Amino acid sequence: MSINVAVIILFTLFHLVDIQAAPSSSRPKNISFDVFDQKTDTSSLKFQGDSTIVSGALQITPDTISNPDLLINKFGRVFYSEPFKLWSSSDDNVHASFNSSFLINLHRQPNWNAGEGLAFLIAPDISIPAASFGQWLGLTNASTNGNQSNRIVAIEFDTEKQDDYDPDDNHIGLNINSVISNKTVSLGVHNITLSPQGSTNHSVWVQYNGSSKLMEVYMGKQGEPKPDKPLLSETINLKDYVNQQSYFGFAASTGNNTEIELHCVLKWSLEVDDLKEESDSISLKIGLGVGVPAGVILLVLFGVLYVKKRRRKGRSDEESNVFDKSLSWLPEMPKEFKYKEIKKATNNFHESMRLGEGGFGIVYKGILNIKDDNTATEIAVKQFSRDRIKGKDDFLAELTIIYRLRHKHLSLCEGWCYDKGKLLLLYDFMPNGSLDKHLYEASNHNTLNWERRYKILADVASALRYLHNEYDQKVVHRDLKASNILLDSDYNARLSDFGLARAIDDGRSSYAELGLAGVPGTRGYVAPECFHTGRATPESDVFGFGAVMLEVVCGRSPVTGIDHHQHLYSLVDWVWMLYREGKIQEAVDERLGNEYVVDEAERLLLLGLACSHPIASERPQAQAICQIIGGTMSAPHVPPFKPTFTWPLMDAPSSSTTQSTVNSAATLSSKGFSATNMGDE
C-alpha cells in the first residue's frame, strides 16, 4: 500500500520538524487594549456570565444606569483568550514576571450604594462559577470559596463590607482561592475612593517579579503618574497556587437591590515574560497533520469496517482488539483514552455529570487531569449505549464523518475509547451548552442579545455550507435543531451530533436504510418531503436550518403552536401571516425590546421563510444562505402566501417543481395545523 507508506513518511517528517524546532528565548508577550471594540476584540477575549463590551469598554457586569433592576446579582468574567505560561517546564526556578496596567471605572448613581467589586484575576480556565454574584465577586461561590482546587489568585477592588471578613467598603486585597483576602489595604487613608459620587477613572498597575516573587499593586487617578510606593506589596509564590498555564482577566459582581455599581475596564495592557520551550512546535505539527489527504483516512476506516464485519460474531474483547489496532493506525486519530480515565473523569458516569441525551446516547461532562501541569480540562463524553444494536455502526459512522470534517463551527472530537463493547467519544466541552437552553430557560435568555443571535446563525450557516459544498463528498446533517447547536464560552456556535450524519455520494443512504422506526429527525424541523421519501437531503437540512432561524429570531419553538386570534399557527405560518400583513417585525422575540437591528431581523425572517418552502427545490442553498446572512446578497423574494406542499407521485421524487407557486390562503387562515404544516402536530 503505497499510500500507507506515504503516511509513514509524513509522520517521520513531523518528527524531524519537532526535533529541529526548539528555540529558546525570553521576550515578554505584550497585549494592549487602548479601547475595546465589540467587532474586533471578541475573538481575543473570552466573556463569561454577564460581561460584554459596550461603549468601548469591558463591562464585567452589565452597563446600564437607566434600569438598575438589570444590575442586581450579576457576575461576569473577561479573559484574554490565550493562557500564559508562568514558569518553565525544564527549570523550576525560572518564573515569568509580569506587568499589567488598566484603567477602571466603578460608576454608581447618586442614589445607589456602591457594591460589590471588581478583581484582576489569574485563573486555570476561562469558566466562571455559578451564582458568584454578591459577595463572591465573580471569583468563587458558596460551595467553592476557599477550595484549593480553584487555583485562582486575584487582586480585589472591593466596595462592599462583608462583616465577617472585610475591613471596610473601600479596599483592595490579595485573594487566594477565596474572597477572604490574605491581605487587605484600606484606600481611604490613601485618598482613594473606588466608587465615589461622580464618575472617576482609576489607573492600576499590578506587577509580579518572577525572581523575588513580589506582587505589587499601585493605584492613582487617571492621568496621574504611577506612584513611587505600592499600595499593596506581598511575597507570594504563584507556583504554589495557580496553574502553569493560566489565564489573565477580570471578574466582578453586583449585589442585591441596594449594592450595585458598574464595573468597567477602559484600557488594559499586560506584559508577561515569554518562556519559550521545546513544546512550542506542537502547533506546527498539528498544522501539517491536517493536511493528510482524507482518502488515506477513509481507506484505513474502510479497513476497520471490513475487519469489523468479518469479526461480527466474535466476542467483544476480540472486537476491542480490532478496534484498538485499526484505530491506532489513523494518522489523525486523536488521543485514545483508557476507560478507567473516563470513568474517573465523569465520576463513574454520575447523574450529576449528565449533560443531556443526544443522538444515540447519553452525554456526560468529564474533567480530565492532564498530568504535566495539572490543568483540568473539561470535556463532553458521548456514550453510545450498548443495548442498541445499532450502537457500533453509529460509532463507526460518526468516526468516519468526524475525522474527515474539520470546520471551526463543527464540534471537535478530542479522543475516543472502546472497551468491552462500550463506545465513547470525547468532545470539546461547550461551557454555554446548547442553543435551546438560552432561548427558553428564563435564567438564560438575556445572554442572547441580538448580535449573538445573528452570529450564531452565521456560524451554523457556514458549517452547513461546509458540509454541503466544501467537502469533496456531500454530507447531510439530518438532524439540525436548536439542541444540536452548542455554544462555547464566547457564544461561538458549533454544530454537533453527527450520529445521524452520513455521506451521501450515491443517494443510497436513507432513513429507511438506517433501519430506524419512523423518521429520526425532530418534528418541526423535518422537511415535509421526508415523510414521503424517508430520505434526508441537503434541502431537508436547509428546511431544518430555516426552522432554527425563525426560532432564534422569534424566540419561539417551531414545535409549539402559537395562538393568534383563536387560531393555532405553526411558527412558520405565523411568521408568514405577519409578513403578509406587513408587520413581520412583530415576529421578533419581544424579550429583545428594541435592542435589535431592524434590517437584519427582516433579512433573517425572510430567509427563514424561504428555507421553509414546502418544495425542496425552491429552498435556497447553503452557499446563498451564507451570502444573504453576510449581507452580500439581498434577502430572497418571498410570496405573500405559503405555497402548498403536494406530493404528486409516491415513486417520482423529482417531479415536484411545478407546484411551487400554488397558494393556500384558505388552508392557512381556516386551520392552524393543516396538511401543509407537516411535523407540527
Helix, strand, coil % over all residues of the chain, rounded to 5 = 30, 25, 45
Nearer to ligand NAG, 214 or 362 (CB): 214
> Using the rule CB under 6 A, is 30 a contact of ligand NAG?
yes
Q: Least distance in Å: CB of 21 to ligand NAG? A: 23
Nearer to ligand NAG, 26 or 473 (CB): 26
Residue 663 amino acid letter: N
Cell numbers representing residue 261 in the block = 455599581
Residue 647 main-chain phi, psi, to 5 deg: -120, 95
Residue 266 main-chain phi, psi, to 5 deg: -95, -30
CA 4/CA 660 separation, integer angstroms: 51
Contacts of ligand NAG in 118-137 (CB under 6 A): 129-131, 134-135
The 10 Å Cβ neighbour count of residue 97 is 17
Q: Least distance in Å: CB of 79 to ligand NAG? A: 16
Number of residues that bind ligand NAG (CB under 6 A): 40
Nearer to ligand NAG, 57 or 626 (CB): 57
Q: Least distance in Å: CB of 31 to ligand NAG? A: 8
Which range binds ligand NAG by CB under 6 A, 91-99, 400-408, 453-461, 513-521? Answer: 91-99
Q: Least distance in Å: CB of 224 to ligand NAG? A: 10
Pairing of strands 52-54, 57-59: antiparallel
- Which residue spans within 133-263 are E strands per DSSP? 153-158, 171-176, 183-186, 202-209, 214-221, 232-235, 245-253
Q: Residues 20, 24, 44, 256: which binds ligand NAG (CB under 6 A)?
A: 256
> Using the rule CB under 6 A, is 98 a contact of ligand NAG?
yes
Nearer to ligand NAG, 145 or 385 (CB): 145
Nearer to ligand NAG, 177 or 570 (CB): 177
Contact of 564 with 501, CB cutoff 8 Å: no
**DSSP per-residue string spanning 450-492:** HHHHHHHHHHHHHHHHIIIIISSS-EE-S---GGGEEE-TT--
Nearer to ligand NAG, 98 or 247 (CB): 98
Q: Least distance in Å: CB of 262 to ligand NAG? A: 12
> Using the rule CB under 6 A, is 20 a contact of ligand NAG?
no
Contact of 181 with 173, CB cutoff 8 Å: yes
> Using the rule CB under 6 A, is 72 a contact of ligand NAG?
no
Nearer to ligand NAG, 324 or 441 (CB): 441
Handedness of CA 139, 141, 145, 151 (dihedral sign): negative
Q: Least distance in Å: CB of 211 to ligand NAG? A: 4
Q: Least distance in Å: CB of 371 to ligand NAG? A: 17
Which range binds ligand NAG by CB under 6 A, 94-102, 438-446, 581-589, 671-679? Answer: 94-102
Q: Least distance in Å: CB of 60 to ligand NAG? A: 16
Distance set, CA 6 to CA 298, 328, 553 (Å): 15, 17, 49
> Using the rule CB under 6 A, is 53 a contact of ligand NAG?
no
CA 325/CA 234 separation, integer angstroms: 55
Nearer to ligand NAG, 431 or 546 (CB): 431
Give the DSSP H/E element, type plus range, for residue 62: none
Q: Residues 28, 227, 295, 314: which binds ligand NAG (CB under 6 A)?
A: 28
Q: Residues 255, 366, 544, 614: which binds ligand NAG (CB under 6 A)?
A: 255
Pairing of strands 245-253, 84-85: antiparallel
Q: Cα 263 from chain centroid? A: 24
> Using the rule CB under 6 A, is 97 a contact of ligand NAG?
yes
Q: Least distance in Å: CB of 386 to ligand NAG? A: 29
Phi-psi region of 529 (alpha: psi -120 to 50; beta: other; left: phi over 0): alpha
Q: Least distance in Å: CB of 34 to ligand NAG? A: 8
Contacts of ligand NAG in 141-200 (CB under 6 A): 141-144, 146-147, 149, 176, 178, 180, 182, 191, 199
Which range binds ligand NAG by CB under 6 A, 8-16, 26-34, 413-421, 449-457? Answer: 26-34
CA 178/CA 132 separation, integer angstroms: 12
Distance set, CA 156 to CA 49, 169, 179, 566, 625 (Å): 18, 12, 8, 56, 47
**DSSP per-residue string spanning 539-571:** HHHHHHHHHHHHHHHHT--TTS-EEETTEEE-H
CA 297/CA 398 separation, integer angstroms: 14
Which range binds ligand NAG by CB under 6 A, 73-81, 251-259, 411-419, 601-609? Answer: 251-259
Q: Which residues of 459-494 are buried (b: 16+ CB within 10 A; e: fewer)?
A: bbbbbbbbbbeeeeeebbbbbbbbbbbbbbbbbbbb
Cell numbers representing residue 356 in the block = 443531556
Which range binds ligand NAG by CB under 6 A, 264-272, 390-398, 522-530, 600-608? Answer: 264-272
String of contacts with ligand NAG for each residue 268-307, x by CB under 6 A: -x-x-x----------------------------------
CA 403/CA 326 separation, integer angstroms: 14
Contact of 554 with 571, CB cutoff 8 Å: yes
Active-site residue list: 479
Nearer to ligand NAG, 144 or 489 (CB): 144
Identify any residues that bridge with 376 across adjacent strands, giving them in sequence order.
Answer: 369
Which range binds ligand NAG by CB under 6 A, 263-271, 285-293, 474-482, 665-673? Answer: 263-271
Q: Least distance in Å: CB of 636 to ligand NAG? A: 43
Nearer to ligand NAG, 47 or 360 (CB): 47
Cell numbers representing residue 451 in the block = 448580535
Nearer to ligand NAG, 134 or 230 (CB): 134
Contacts of ligand NAG in 204-243 (CB under 6 A): 207, 209, 211-212, 222, 236
Q: Least distance in Å: CB of 153 to ligand NAG? A: 10
Only one residue has cell 484498538, namely 324
Nearer to ligand NAG, 273 or 319 (CB): 273
> Using the rule CB under 6 A, is 99 a contact of ligand NAG?
yes
Identify any residues that bridge with 487 across adjacent strands, giving them in sequence order.
Answer: 493
Residues of the shown chain interacting with ligand NAG in the complex, contacts defined by CB under 6 A: 28, 30, 32, 97-99, 103, 105, 129-131, 134-135, 141-144, 146-147, 149, 176, 178, 180, 182, 191, 199, 201, 207, 209, 211-212, 222, 236, 255-257, 266, 269, 271, 273
